[in-house]
Amino acid sequence: MKNIMIFLIFTSVFLTGIAQACTGIRLVANDGSPIFGRTEEFGDDVFEVNWKIFPQNYTFQGYTPDGSNGKQWKSKYGFVAATPFEAEQAVEGLNEHGLQVGVFYFQPYEQAKYQEYIPSKAKNSIGGWQLPTYIISQAKNVDEVRWLLSKVNVVDAIPYPYYKDWNFSPKIHLAVNDAQGNSVVIEYLNGELHIFDNPLGTITNKPRFDWHQQNLKQFTNLPIDQPVPFQNKSKEIMRTGLDIDRLESISGEITSESRFIRAAMYSQTLEPFDTASEGVHAAFNILNNFDIPKGFKRYRHSDGKEYSMYSQWTTVSDLRNKKMYIRSFYSPSVKLIDLNEINFKDGKVKTFEIPMKFEFDKIEINSN
């Protein structure tokens, strides 16, 4: 692991720029198969990602502002996840029941505040950055997530041991999608839990999710208040050919607000497709539009050098069939991990490698 002073990265320039660049979408096939895809924008000089398999019955330790005195729990369900450094923390993951959980950065944002820490309730408290791991290891679906979060206190805990150079507890909000097509966004705002239904399945970064939903109304008549499963509005032929009022006004900026609008429109005006495999292909196609080129956004590090923040990897998860597809910046060919083939009962945490070398298949030309 690279020994770098992580906290110096989070200058005001960084926090208002590329830190706000992750984009998530949800698609649904005609056969009902839900697909969730997202980009992740950091840089491996900053945020070294490992890919891990966590088994059932694995013990996790909760953290609080006082240290490792929080809730201890064992995983009910095995899962696959991207983790930062060697940490036992899911950044993006899929469990054996098809529940997906993804972290999206949520700061700087004044309203982003976890629940109050009460020392006498430490044994039922976990750090905010541990929330995705807690959910994906304990719940099968969105209904169970709602129940789980009503029973645990999520606090502004000290940084994880692997983050010794972080001088803050990162604020995050979560995208959660299940195999039945349910989608929610989880946010802690001013110390209170908020679980927002997400009928379009779109997520980016700050501000709060309900603000994004209201802002979207300025640009489209998409049914943002319609419960899942929604009707694909692109089937309805409107005057413009699309159910969009202000297509010419869509911003191409990489701000969270602009990306949310484009992601919602691209995903909901997509031509209908029949199967999950078609949906995986479509998700990658849409997410190509949100890649950040290496070098477009940069930050100055404590060593005086500048580093790029860019689209480090993209994942697309087929929730019904329990498959995760991964594409990295260094190896843009898509890799598949099939959770149906994993033994989650062996008690072992395993790490698997994603190729970090650009490779290609040469086309042989017959000279005859």
Whole-number Å distance between alpha carbons of 30 and 85: 39
Position 46 in a domain: yes
**What would the two tokens of residue 140 be?**
């099968």
Position 333 in a domain: yes
pLDDT of residue 256: 92
- 187 and 194 Cβ atoms separated by less than 8 Å: yes
- 79 and 96 Cβ atoms separated by less than 8 Å: yes
- Tell which residue, 97, 98, 108, 50, has the closest CA to residue 313: 50
Report the DSSP beta bridge partners of residue 172: 105
CA torsion, ordered 160, 164, 169, 171, to nearest 10 deg: -90
- Tell which residue, 95, 182, 187, has the closest CA to residue 133: 95
Whole-number Å distance between alpha carbons of 323 and 339: 6
Position 361 in a domain: no
Whole-number Å distance between alpha carbons of 152 and 126: 8
198: domain CATH number is 3.60.60.10
- Tell which residue, 10, 35, 95, 43, has the closest CA to residue 296: 43
- 183 and 199 Cβ atoms separated by less than 8 Å: yes
- 50 and 83 Cβ atoms separated by less than 8 Å: yes
pLDDT tens, residue order, the chain (368 aa): 333 333 333 333 333 333 458 999 999 999 999 999 999 987 556 667 899 999 999 999 999 999 999 999 999 999 999 998 778 889 999 999 999 999 999 988 899 999 999 999 999 999 999 999 999 999 999 999 999 999 999 999 976 555 555 556 778 999 999 999 999 999 999 999 999 999 999 999 999 999 999 998 887 766 555 444 444 433 332 323 334 444 556 777 888 999 999 999 999 889 999 999 999 999 999 999 999 988 887 766 556 777 787 888 999 999 999 999 999 998 889 999 999 999 999 999 999 998 888 888 889 998 77
Position 368 in a domain: no
Q: At what angle do helices 276-287 and 256-268 cross, to 10 degrees?
A: 150
CA 356 to chain centre: 21
In a 10 Å sphere around its CB, with 0-12 CB exposed, 13-18 middle and 19+ buried, how is residue 114 labelled? buried
DSSP 280-349: HHHHHHHHGGGPPPTTTEEEE-TTS-EEEEEEEEEEEEETTTTEEEEEESS--S-EEEEGGG--TTS---
Position 367 in a domain: no
H or E stretch including 133?
helix 131-138
pLDDT of residue 158: 76
pLDDT of residue 6: 34
**What would the two tokens of residue 344 be?**
């989650």
- 73 and 54 Cβ atoms separated by less than 8 Å: no
pTM: 0.87
Provide the domain limits for residue 306.
6-348
Q: Note the maximum CA span of the chain.
A: 81
Q: At what angle do helices 256-268 and 209-216 cross, to 10 degrees?
A: 60
- 117 and 155 Cβ atoms separated by less than 8 Å: yes
Whole-number Å distance between alpha carbons of 135 and 147: 11
**What would the two tokens of residue 88 be?**
């036992």
Count up the domains in the chain and report the number: 1
pLDDT of residue 220: 73
Other beta carbons within 10 Å of 208: 18
